[in-house]
Amino acid sequence: MDKIHIKDLLLRTIIGINDEERRNRQDVLINLVLHADLRPAGASDDIDDAVNYRTITKRIIALVENSQFFLVEKMADEIAQICLEDRRVKRVRVQVEKPGALRFARSVGVSIKRSRKDV
């Protein structure tokens, strides 16, 4: 299966369980791998045959920037659901990291995989 990579989408949001995390926006770093058959778009050179990753990314930005999740696990799951709304996307891997969330660590995060049967 072909893949579309969206790398290092850096957004700011309210995320976490501590009081300070609930008051102040934090950076989150998102990486996606969308699994889809890209042959129709490759053959036609027509956007209507392609996974419109720009539209997917805009929806993810709106979700994350306007959300107030407690857990990165929930954020990752919601992002996966957005990706799978495009019927061409068969599977997705979502990685969400919180840079600087742990002292002495560059970041902490989760990585999930979802398929059409999961939504």
Q: What is the pLDDT of residues 5-51, one digit of tens each?
A: 999 999 999 999 999 999 999 999 999 999 999 999 999 999 999 99
Number of domain units in the chain? 1
Q: Which of 90, 98, 113, 117 is catalytic?
A: 98
User: Percent of the chain scored above 70 by pLDDT?
Assistant: 100
Partners of residue 32 on adjacent β-strands: 6, 94
Say whether pTM exceeds 0.85: yes
Burial of 105 (0-12, 13-18, 19+ CB in 10 A): exposed
Residue 102 is predicted with a pLDDT of 86
Domain that holds residue 69: 2-118
Task: Identify whether 3 is a catalytic site residue.
Answer: no
* Overall size of the chain counted in residues: 119
CATH number, position 16: 3.30.1130.10
